[in-house]
Structure 1
Amino acid sequence: MGSPGAPDAAGSPFDPPSSGDCNMPLHSSLVPSALAFALAVALPTPSWAQEKPANLYIDVATHAMPGMPGLGAMGRLSGAMSGGGASYGLTQHPAMPGKFMDVALHNGRQPGRPAEQAVPHGLGLGNRIDLLPPPDRKPVHDGNDGGLGTGIADGNGTFKIRYYWGCGEATGAGQPREYSVTIRNGKMVESGRGITPRKVPGRAVTPGPDHALWPNQSTRKTVPAKASLVGQHHVTGDKVPASMQFALAGEHDFLSELKLKGDGGGENGMTLRWSGADGANGYFAHATVTSGDTIVMWSSSEDGYAGYELLDYLPESLVAKWVKARTLLAPDARECHIPKAVFAGGKAAPMVQMIAYGNDRNVVEPRPQGAAQNWKPDWAVRVRSKSTAMLMPGLGALGTEATGRSTGEEIKEEAKSGVKDAAKGLLRGLLRR
């Protein structure tokens, strides 16, 4: 590899481990999506990434919520809900429409020291961004139990989960799979078989004092709507390798907006249609609704139910494998019909989430001419992208009403109430061990 931004080297340190099924029960791994924007779901920095003295992680996401405007009053709401601007971790579960970017640097030679990253003008963030260690904050518990009310949240009750999967007019053989839990005086009795989640590589970064991040406490500037990563990048700082510069091309930029629409519902089923995200390697859709103490879940997977764990970044190699296995929808798919039996008889519309998977970009330091045989690269960069969309019952109307308001605090409280109400149904019965 002879120049910054050259093709990825074989055996990149960011190659993920192999994937298969894991043995984790579903009810212990689900994170209700209605509250996902408030959670930083991440795993420790992988050991394979620590092999290089300096590792840079760039995650970008484009998020859409059809029926909700991204500007005006709702733009003010986005800022209010994130404390006035962007914060690290929003690419994992974006809360509002727009583009999001997280940058994390782990410099093993000088951990937790500030650094700078020169960025292309097209990113819309100036000539550089500052990477700073996170503030030292202790977790605070406010005593709030989540406001789930009585029943299961208090340790007693029964709930059921029904699983469906696949696109089409009718459900396939063996559906639905059913699972139920009864809790009495703290004792649990399970019935049926819960679905085992698909195993996906733990590739997220948990930021700690050894990292330098953007966004950070000194700047919460949001990524503009027309932002682009295309161009040259250069990281500098105390004991950061001087050669840590690389180029990104269009195929590793932000994905375009995933324009999702849901037609029908109830007895007639629901047809999902989308315009597609340019450069996407595959798609996945998931829908959930609650009816009393029954939770109904559906996924677009054709080879058996798949869950929330797929609504996140996936390595290109795994996306290609799962498209072939029909776990994921193909890049040219533009429509999926949720069978009418799935949500028939339900009084509430389902919450639908969809993801388009982008490319990975793994760059390692180019090998200098005349380097010794035992030379090893000093730095590595991983860039990954996704585009997501959410159809959330009730918030479309909220967005319409909110545009006529002038007080940001009123919008904020109204939105929180809507999200909280939607989340209650999901949280009730999702047992967390």
Structure 2
Amino acid sequence: MNRSITTSIAAVALTVATPILLAGCTSKAGAEGAIEVTSTESACDLASTETQTGEVDFSVVNNGTKVTEFYVYGDNNRVLGEVENIGPGVTGNLTVEIVDPGTYTVACKPGMVGTGIRQELTVSGEAMEKSQDPEDVNAAKVAYLDYVGNQLNTLVAQTQTFVTNIKSGNLDAARDQFGLVRTPYERIEPVAESFADLDPAIDMRWDDTEDGSLAFTGFHRLERYLWPPQASDIGDDPGQVAPADAAHANASDTKAAIDPIADELLANVTRLKDEVSKADFEFETRSFVSGPQALIDEVAATKVDGEEDRYSHADLYDFAANVDGSETAIATMQPIISAKSPELMDKITAQFAEVRDAVNQFQRGDGYVSYTEVSAEARKDLSNKIDALSASLSQVPGIVLQQ
């Protein structure tokens, strides 16, 4: 789609009206005065495609049958605001501060896959000054981005070894490394997801290919090559390999096809590191303060059912990495949270320990057991603990940004 985006978006605020994993969710009222967005499997309808500079509210109702997401894009397809995990019948609210007039792009992603159904949003009015964030929050964000930089250095180094092993035919070593090589990426996903083109190129699943109409690249394409789908793996249930996915693997996963995919992965993670290292890289403050919950919700939405690493079943590495990243981000904000709500900070600390214990019971040596060894009862227990932690983390943005 042709886009003309000449401006930037400042602070982003987002909430989902009802937790996705609760049964019997009902639609909630959106923000007063918001642009109403209706998402279905085939449409992303905006009540108005025109607005003014300043704070712009969106109320996104999911009238489809699949979980959906809503995104606001800026220059170079950068993700500047998003609300995820909007279940059927549920409304998600998003606020963006648009400081410059211009043409923006928004998108609904039914099923949370693919490039989404996109619309243009015209913003008129005078250019405005960006709101200033509290100094203590900016200091916490700087500390967090130092952590992100170190994780990206590790990611590039480990990916280099991983790619070398695949291309040289040392596939057992690559299999042993798979869970670990992805760990730095999973820890810093909120930052990686700022890049709408780069993130899926690195971390897309088969579901994101729209049944093979888009190129399947990144870690999970290489995962499929390392663990070719077996007949017992194929089916339509969560965590299984779709029949079309298995057919594509059978036809396409040759060494000649995989070597360029491996090279592309290394190039993309290197580019990600370079982009984040640029002096003008800006990680939106609202994305930072909501990042801890976003990481935990990644587990709840796409990992508890075994959908993420469906070929290798290395899902527990991802769980642990998401918890690592979330807990680290909270640690940078801990003095702010403790000063304003010590009870909330104590609760979050205890809940992180509970989630960590639930994951670590499956640790074996330096790694984790196959997710196929985790019983339905244990998955449910982990899901319940994740939901409770997510609910507490949802309070963090309001507490931290409170003046």
TM range (shorter): under 0.3
Q: Under a length normalisation based on structure 1, what TM-score does the superposition of the two structures give? A: 0.24
Structure with the higher strand share, 1 or 2: 1
Instruction: Give the TM-score taking structure 2 as reference length.
Output: 0.25
Structure with the bigger RCO (C-alpha within 8 Å, sep 6+) is: 1
More helix by share: 2
